Amino acid sequence: MRVEQLSCNIGAELVAVNLSDAVHDDGLFSEIRAALLKHKVLFLRDQEFSRAEHVAFAERFGKLEDHPVAGSHPEYPGLVQIYKSPDSPIDRYENAWHTDATWREAPPLGCVLRCVECPDVGGDTMWANMAVAYEMLPGHIKAQIAGLRARHSIEASFGAAMPTEKRLALKAQYPDAEHPVVRTHPDTGEKVLFVNAFTTHFTNFHTKENVRFGQDANPGAALLLNYLISQAFIPEYQVRWRWKRNSVAIWDNRSTQHYAVMDYSPCHRRMERAGIIGDKPF
Ligand code: SIN
């Protein structure tokens, strides 16, 4: 297996390897896992594997989970179908910088995404390294956000396009989660900036140091939150991947954000994503 770095801060392509071999080959799987921890997102071309092999490879990292809004393949639970066609409603938000499902108490460890069909041009996906984004923050911001916590909401994201009753039912089933603004990666020990498009507000911003006037409270906190969320937009922290049929991306969801560029309408784009259950951020 060759590992070819795609940008200075994130992403590498794995060449001369079949992911289906890693289902049974422990040595190969360990190499892939180590490369993932190092590069945070891995890319492969021409992976002709079956859906069963897709699931079996992803399950080497841990158990899979479905998504409450995006449906899974009827025969392969855990294999979420992200299918877009010219008449898809604009009510999904893959084209916002996000870490998958941070509205869960334990957001996914990572994902294995395969392209089933894509336009000739357009529909790329971008990833950002949120450990570098944290590392590059000015010292006074790092000091201010140490110990801060924030709320993440499915209601305010996927729920926002739903009629009220459906939205409230979704919220009852998936209450907002609270996570540290800076999480520690459980495997590498890196500090990671952990706010994204699912984050609604800080929960413990209201201290003597932060709040002099009421104006510093919610409006002031929102400015800081937006500044932190916007760090993922910095191109130096990013890599961009152009899809072809049977291309695969594997990402570490604990240390990255991603953005699926929606510039290809009215074409079809069909992706299948195995999301691996993660642990509670600390
Ligand atoms: C996702 O946001 O998890 C899907 C990314 C993509 O469709 O490229």
**Over the stretch 82-130, which tens digit does the pLDDT of each residue have?**
999 988 876 666 899 999 999 999 999 999 999 999 999 999 999 999 9
First CA to last CA distance, the chain: 34
Q: Which ranges of the chain have pLDDT less than 50?
A: none
Calpha distance 109→259 (Å, rounded): 17
Q: Is the CB of 271 under 6 A from ligand 1?
A: yes
Q: Is the CB of 82 under 6 A from ligand 1?
A: yes
Q: Is the CB of 128 under 6 A from ligand 1?
A: no
pLDDT of the residue at 91: 67
Q: CB–CB of 95/259 below 8 Å?
A: yes
pLDDT of the residue at 87: 85
The H or E element containing residue 3 is strand 2-5
Calpha distance 216→234 (Å, rounded): 26
3-state secondary structure 213-270: CHHHCHHHHHHHHHHHHHHHHCHHHEEEECCCCCCEEEEECCCEEEEECCCCCCCCEE
pTM of the model: 0.96
Please give the distance, rounded to the nearest whole angstrom, from the Cα atom of residue 144 to the centre of ligand 1.
32
Q: CB–CB of 269/86 below 8 Å?
A: no
The H or E element containing residue 30 is helix 26-39
Calpha distance 191→155 (Å, rounded): 27
pLDDT of the residue at 233: 98
Calpha distance 64→9 (Å, rounded): 28
pLDDT of the residue at 86: 87
pLDDT of the residue at 235: 98
Q: Is the CB of 84 under 6 A from ligand 1?
A: no
Give the mutation target among 81, 99, 273 for probing the ligand 1 site: most ligand atoms within 8 A of CB.
273
pLDDT of the residue at 88: 83
